[in-house]
């Protein structure tokens, strides 16, 4: 049965008056869009948009299948509405959201259910919702090329069609034209892979894309599948292609071969294949506003993906940073997120000057359930704090069986395969905001080795349990509803709550570097066993508070068999601590290493990520 609209319960930000041009528009009242159109009676249709490419080599341009839900009454009044769009490879294989919803169709192939609440919530408020199957997935043709030109230009073609610049057809072959019902103003949204394609399309500078909302999204596929030359998982692009493809194997054999050869597992080098999938250099082309959401403890799409994208954007932008892992803010802070999203789309797609672009740009979760607003990120008061690692030489040998839990436990003990530096106890509260790094002066008895660094907060506290089930959330038995419903597509989702734990330590950030890539990621420079080298290990961007009395630990090891697929060389590493340096973007200060330390000795955790198991973005 249909379920009534239920409003969000989060804090609502103040609106200013609506622009005069909005006068008389039924879905705009008091400076915001309101649900006046029937969701049950909405137009539901599918079109196939022609792309400029033919990567399945069948002699025809590839087509992107697009499912549309739009308000019928607006079309009847000749009101052209803006579009909220999600491009995804997951609509038929894997599902979207915490409840893994799939697209559903009736016997005639008409869309009856689109995943997530976007259509339920926004269509009654005077938006169309467009769900596009990325190339080679679900009902689209072409072949999935995992972040490449086919994926990005296919999604771009949909925006071109919405603005009258590309062709489309209905299932019966009749031409499909969008300019009669939409004004072409489009906002792209999506989590993970879906948000990554929004980044990629924005980086083309396509006209008509007014805003994007990338959630836990990729901005460089090299950095997703490589850690500075370290292989995350073998045959990763081929795995992702096969995971989402909707095409016969023989249709995409050439593309699979290109993925295998181009990604170049053998060297880990950055090359033309990866440059095509790196959106950051084209951030200057982005003219769309950007609302980013990311978990500070996301170990799937790691935090440098948002940090290096955010720092390059010169457009109106806003960011939410939570303490969860790979989790949608809808499942963290639901009411406030829906309110923010509503205002964001009203501002950039409906042209309502509601003030959201003048509010603090940054919302950060500093502790479970505690959020603060700031004007920019990283924190303006954070300054690079450099500290030497000591006065002597440390030696250890790669132990590829050393787990993360064992590596960070018992920091004062002698554990084969790691070396530990402790700073503290801190005399006052401190904050790390930005991207830490450690520069190591090393001598290695093999042509290369992987180097792994972890920052650990040793001290008891209540923290978001991002390493537990749900990556920091738990799913409850109750439901709340976020929009209008039909018998086939309700707007109700199971509620969630933060999963917290009281622990005596927490890993704040991690970093990896292949030593032979210390000069450049484009080629290897083998190490000579008789020579000292300076190798910088960049860690993932973070924003964390460290309480007074806690101890900050730097844990170094060689290969990491949990977050990568280590190519262990069995190297023995000598570390000249006098010429090695930890650099932290920090508010506060650290005592030098060697200061008497009082700390607990945490036991190894029972959690261990699966080894060499590829994950999907």
Query: If pLDDT is split at 50, 70 and 90, which confidence band does 589 have?
Result: confident
At residue 594, the pLDDT reads 54
What whole-number distance in Å separates Cα of residue 250 and Cα of residue 236?
A: 20
State yes or no: pLDDT of 609 exceeds 50. no
Provide the pLDDT confidence category of residue 596 given band limits of 50, 70 and 90: very low
What percent of the chain has pLDDT above 70? Answer: 92
Instruction: Using alpha carbons, list the distances in angstroms from residue 71 to 45, 188, 191, 457.
Output: 12, 19, 25, 52
Closest by CA position to 383, among listed 237, 141, 583, 179: 583
- For residue 79, the SS3 value is coil
User: Which positions are annotated as active-site residues?
Assistant: 192, 298, 326
Decide if pLDDT at 176 tops 70: yes
- H or E element: which one contains 223? helix 221-225
Strand order in the sheet with 63-70: 168-169, 43-50, 63-70, 128-133, 81-88, 182-191, 209-215, 289-295, 317-322, 362-367, 370-374
| Tens-place pLDDT, residues 231-241 | 999 999 999 99
Q: What is the pLDDT of residue 567?
A: 78
Of the pLDDT bands very low, low, confident and very high (cuts 50, 70, 90), residue 602 is very low
Q: How far is CA 136 from the centre of its chain?
A: 22
Instruction: Please state the rounded mean pLDDT for residues 261-286.
Output: 97
Cis peptide leading into residue 378 (ω within 30°):
yes
- For residues 514 and 607, the model is more confident at 514
Looking at the DSSP assignment, which residues form a beta bridge with residue 539?
A: 511
What is the SS3 assignment for 272?
Answer: helix
What is the separation of C-alpha 158 from the centre of its chain, rounded to a whole number of angstroms?
Answer: 22
For the entire predicted model, the pTM comes to: 0.93
Tell me the average pLDDT across 90-97.
94
Residue 316 has pLDDT above 80, yes or no: yes
* pLDDT range class, residue 617, cuts 50, 70, 90: confident
Answer positive or negative: Cα dihedral of 246, 248, 249, 255. Answer: negative
Tens of pLDDT along 418-437? 999 999 899 999 999 999 99
CATH code 2.160.10.10 for 383-587: no
Residue 568 CB contacts under 8 Å (≥ 6 apart), including other chains: 398, 400, 450, 558, 559
Domain boundaries, the chain: 383-587
- φ/ψ (deg, to 5) at 464: -65, 130
Tell me how far the alpha carbon of residue 408 is from its chain's centroid.
Answer: 26
Write the pLDDT tens digit of every residue in 361-374.
999 999 999 999 99
Identify the band that residue 23 occupies on the pLDDT scale cut at 50, 70 and 90: low
pLDDT for 608 equals: 36
pLDDT value at residue 175? 98
Structure tokens at 178: 């969008």
Closest Cα partner for 291 from 318, 310, 309? Answer: 318
The token duo for 295 is 């978990």
């Amino acid at each position: 049965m249909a379920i009534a609209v239920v409003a969000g319960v989060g804090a609502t930000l103040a609106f200013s008056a609506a622009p005069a041009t909005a006068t008389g528009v039924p879905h705009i009242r008091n400076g915001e869009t309101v649900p006046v159109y029937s969701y049950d009676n909405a137009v539901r249709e599918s079109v196939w948009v022609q792309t400029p490419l033919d990567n399945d080599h069948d002699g025809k341009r590839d087509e992107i299948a697009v499912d549309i839900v739009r308000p019928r009454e607006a079309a009847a009044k000749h009101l052209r509405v803006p579009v909220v769009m999600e491009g995804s490879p997951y609509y038929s294989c894997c599902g979207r959201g915490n409840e893994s919803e799939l697209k559903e169709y009736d016997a005639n192939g008409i869309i009856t259910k689109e995943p997530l609440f976007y259509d339920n919530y926004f269509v009654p408020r005077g938006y169309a919702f467009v769900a596009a199957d990325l190339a080679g997935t679900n009902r689209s043709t072409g072949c999935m090329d995992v972040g490449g030109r086919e994926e990005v230009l296919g999604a771009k073609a949909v925006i071109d069609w919405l603005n009258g610049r590309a062709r489309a057809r209905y299932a019966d072959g009749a031409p499909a034209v969008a300019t009669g019902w939409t004004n072409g103003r489009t906002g792209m949204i999506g989590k993970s892979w879906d948000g990554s394609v929004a980044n990629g399309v924005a980086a083309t500078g396509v006209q008509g894309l007014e805003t994007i909302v990338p959630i836990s999204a990729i901005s460089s596929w090299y950095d997703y599948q490589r850690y500075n030359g370290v292989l995350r998982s073998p045959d990763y692009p081929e795995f992702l292609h096969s995971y989402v493809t909707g095409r016969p194997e023989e249709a995409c054999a050439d593309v699979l071969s290109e993925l295998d050869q181009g990604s170049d597992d053998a060297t880990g080098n950055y090359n033309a294949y990866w440059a095509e999938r790196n959106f950051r250099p084209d951030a200057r082309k982005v003219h769309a506003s950007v609302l980013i959401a990311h978990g500070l403890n996301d170990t799937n799409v790691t935090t440098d993906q948002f940090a290096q994208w955010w720092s390059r954007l010169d457009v109106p932008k806003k960011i939410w940073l939570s303490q969860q892992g790979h989790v949608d803010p809808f499942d963290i802070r639901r009411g406030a997120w829906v309110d923010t999203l509503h205002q964001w789309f009203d501002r950039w797609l409906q042209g309502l000057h509601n003030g959201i672009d003048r509010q603090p740009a940054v919302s950060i979760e500093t502790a479970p359930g505690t959020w603060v607003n700031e004007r920019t990120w990283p924190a303006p008061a954070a300054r690079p704090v450099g500290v030497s690692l000591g006065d002597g030489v440390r030696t250890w040998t790669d132990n590829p069986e050393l787990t993360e839990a064992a590596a960070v436990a018992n920091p004062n003990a002698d554990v084969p395969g790691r070396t530990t530096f402790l700073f503290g106890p801190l005399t006052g509260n401190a904050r790390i905001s930005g991207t830490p790094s450690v520069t190591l002066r090393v001598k290695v008895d093999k042509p290369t080795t992987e180097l792994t660094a972890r920052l650990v907060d040793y001290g008891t506290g209540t923290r978001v349990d991002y390493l537990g089930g749900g990556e920091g959330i738990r799913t409850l038995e109750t439901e709340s509803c976020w929009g209008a419903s039909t018998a086939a597509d309700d707007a109700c989702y199971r509620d969630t709550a933060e999963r917290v734990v009281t622990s005596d330590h927490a890993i704040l950030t991690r970093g990896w570097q292949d030593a032979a890539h210390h000069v450049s990621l484009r080629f290897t420079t083998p190490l000579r066993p008789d020579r000292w080298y300076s190798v910088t290990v960049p860690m993932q961007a973070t924003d964390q508070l460290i309480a007074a009395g806690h101890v900050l630990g730097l844990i170094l090891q060689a290969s990491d068999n949990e977050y990568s697929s280590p190519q262990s060389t069995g190297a023995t590493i000598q570390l000249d601590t006098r010429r090695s340096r930890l650099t932290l973007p920090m508010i506060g200060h650290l005592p030098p290493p060697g200061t008497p330390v009082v700390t607990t000795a945490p036991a190894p955790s029972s959690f261990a990520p699966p080894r060499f198991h590829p994950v999907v973005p």
